[in-house]
Amino acid sequence: MFPRAWRSALIPLLALALFSSTPLLADDWPQFRGPDGMGVANAPVPIQFGPEKNLLWKTKLPGAGGSSPVLFGDRIFLTSYTGYAVTGEPEGSIDRLERHVLCLNRGDGHLLWDKTVPTRLPEEEGIRESHGYASSTPAVDAERVYVFFGKSGVFAFDHAGAQLWQADVGDKTHGWGSGASPVLHEEVALINASVESESLYALDRKSGAITWRAEGVREAWNTPHLVKTDAGNTEIVVPIIEQVLAFDPANGEQLWHCATDIPWYMAPSAVSRDGIVYCIGGRPGYSLAVRAGGRGDVTATHRLWATKKGSNVPSPILLGDQLYWMHDNLGIASSASTATGELVYEQRINRAGMVYGSPVLAGEHLYYVTREGRVYVVKAAPRFELVATNDLADGGVFNASPAAVDGKLYIRSDGWLYCFGE
Domain ranges of the chain: 26-421
* Strand segments (E) across 87-182: 98-105, 111-118, 139-140, 144-148, 154-158, 163-167
How many Å from the N-terminal Cα to the C-terminal Cα in the chain? 30
Distance in angstroms (rounded) separating the CA atoms of residues 213 and 170: 11
Average pLDDT (388-417) is 96
pLDDT digits (tens, 9 = 90+) for 158-198: 999 999 999 999 999 999 999 999 999 999 999 999 999 99
Q: How confident is the model at residue 323 (pLDDT cuts 50, 70, 90)?
A: very high
pLDDT digits (tens, 9 = 90+) for 71-126: 999 999 999 999 999 988 888 999 999 999 999 999 999 999 999 999 999 999 98
Q: How confident is the model at residue 8 (pLDDT cuts 50, 70, 90)?
A: very low
With a cut of 70, say whether residue 13 has pLDDT above it. Answer: no
Sheet containing strand 188-193, strands side by side: 183-185, 188-193, 199-204, 210-215
With a cut of 50, say whether residue 362 has pLDDT above it. Answer: yes
Homologous superfamily in CATH for domain 26-421: YVTN repeat-like/Quinoprotein amine dehydrogenase (2.130.10.10)
Return left, alpha or beta for 276; rule: phi > 0 is left, psi -120 to 50 is alpha, else beta.
Answer: beta
Mean pLDDT across the chain, nearest whole number? 93
Average pLDDT (20-29) is 57
With a cut of 50, say whether residue 12 has pLDDT above it. Answer: no
Average pLDDT (308-327) is 97
Rounded (10°) CA dihedral 237, 239, 240, 244: 80
CA 36-257-168 angle, 5° bins: 65
Specify the pLDDT at position 294: 98
What 3-state DSSP class applies to 58? Answer: strand
What backbone torsions phi and psi does residue 127 show, to the nearest 5 degrees?
A: -95, 125
Q: Residue 160 class from Cβ within 10 Å (0-12 exposed, 13-18 middle, 19+ buried)?
A: exposed
Average pLDDT (301-319) is 97
CB-based contact 210:202 (threshold 8 Å)? yes
What 3-state DSSP class applies to 422? Answer: coil
Report H helices in 168-305: 194-197, 299-302
Specify the pLDDT at position 11: 37
Distance in angstroms (rounded) separating the CA atoms of residues 2 and 290: 48
What backbone torsions phi and psi does residue 297 show, to the nearest 5 degrees?
A: -80, 110
Specify the pLDDT at position 26: 61
pLDDT digits (tens, 9 = 90+) for 234-266: 999 999 999 999 999 999 999 999 999 999 999
pTM to 2 decimals? 0.93
Q: Distances in Å between the alpha carbon of 357 and those of 39, 179, 328, 373, 413?
A: 11, 12, 9, 11, 11
Specify the pLDDT at position 4: 40
Q: How confident is the model at residue 150 (pLDDT cuts 50, 70, 90)?
A: very high
